[in-house]
Chain A
């Protein structure tokens, strides 16, 4: 292969990447455009919240509790060196509300709900159900994708809030009940240091953004999957990989925008 050929290959690759980006951007706007139609078929959205949200509650709560436990144990170990063990409540609450709540929930969401969305839509496509809908003049974006998108975007902030709340309770169990920190100091330090808008509000904004990103990626991968068993399998894998990377990347950008400016 000579240099010109290599250059051409590079060009093709770059064009492919750009085409993929453009394609997904158009898909995203069409999804946004058809999202209001999900409100007209409200029951479809409710049913999707059930399968995306309700069924994720157990794993979200269990992970939140575990993260709260571990944060309290590790935090106490470090804080007690500096005689600041009373700040444990603040440490646990801020880490959960600002970062761990939205991010870990989004990662779990990608694995728990995103994969099932991709597989479901991929199989619908493989079974030509989507094509059949189009034949009957039913827009599959409005009928199938929009309710799932709306459900994912609504469920994510609620799940993230549950994660943080359960995590704080986990921190309380380990910090106050097991280690024996003063409960008054635990709560009052937390309440003095956590701001409703700057911390809790920004955490919710983050989880809404992650909800949009994760659900969009899962739906896009399912909709664009090759209509074969291997194609659906690959699309499901890509959902997890791309969603996780997108969440981590977006989190860095959002954190830099929200928390970097000192008061």
Chain B
């Protein structure tokens, strides 16, 4: 095989390799849909963030509009301080509320946003005031048992 032939074959090999990397980046990791873009950061305080993780999606009406970028403990209020990056094109009213929800029964947790009715919009650095914590299964069961235990006492009266 001549020099030209080998060079062409190597070209095909490199092209195949590049194609494979592109496939992994675009099809498997979906680089295209979240190339960062312009975002603005808002914060929210939750009494309990449950199993929320950094990079968890932020959704409104089920549509992903941002990502959780940082989670820390606010040592003044002992609440979980969650920083969220929202896409620049999506504006939310200032009285929007945030909930920590779970996708499916065993799925990952994400932040759900419910828009309010305010005329002013959230700006970069604002805090979402109304929040609802993650549901912790132990607390839920504990509450259920507590209510059960209280029931017979109520009937005896």
Binding site for B on A (CB under 8 A): 43, 46-47, 49-50, 53-54, 57, 82-84, 93, 97, 155, 157-159, 161-162, 164-166, 168, 187, 190-192, 194-196, 199-200, 203-204, 263
Contact = CB atoms under 8 A, between A and B. Distances in A.
Interface of B: 3, 6-7, 9-10, 12-14, 16-21, 23-25, 27-31, 33, 53-55, 57, 105-106
A161 B13 contact: no
Given A84-B106, A158-B13, A263-B55, A46 B29 contact: no
B139 to A, nearest CB: 24
Pick from B29, B57, B105 the residue with the most CB of A within 10 Å.
Answer: B29
B17 A47 contact: no
Contact of A165 (B20, B55, B105): B20
B28 A54 contact: no
Q: What secondary structure prevails in chain B residues at the interface with A?
A: helix
B33 A164 contact: no
Pick from B12, B23, B53 the residue with the most CB of A within 10 Å.
Answer: B23
B13 A165 contact: no
Contacts of B7: 43, 46
Contacts of A192: 30, 57
Q: What secondary structure prevails in chain A residues at the interface with B?
A: helix
Contact of B28 (A53, A84, A93, A158): A93
Given A192-B57, A195-B29, A200-B25, A158 B6 contact: no
B28 A168 contact: yes
Contacts of A57: 13, 16
A97 B28 contact: yes
Contacts of A46: 6-7, 10
A159 B17 contact: yes
7 contacts: A49-B10, A50-B13, A53-B13, A158-B14, A158-B16, A168-B28, A200-B21
Contacts of A203: 24
B6 A194 contact: no
A200 B29 CA distance: 8
Nearest to A151: B10
B101 to A, nearest CB: 15
Contacts of B30: 191-192, 194
B53 A196 contact: no
Given A57-B13, A162-B20, A164-B20, 4 more contacts: A47-B6, A50-B10, A158-B20, A194-B28
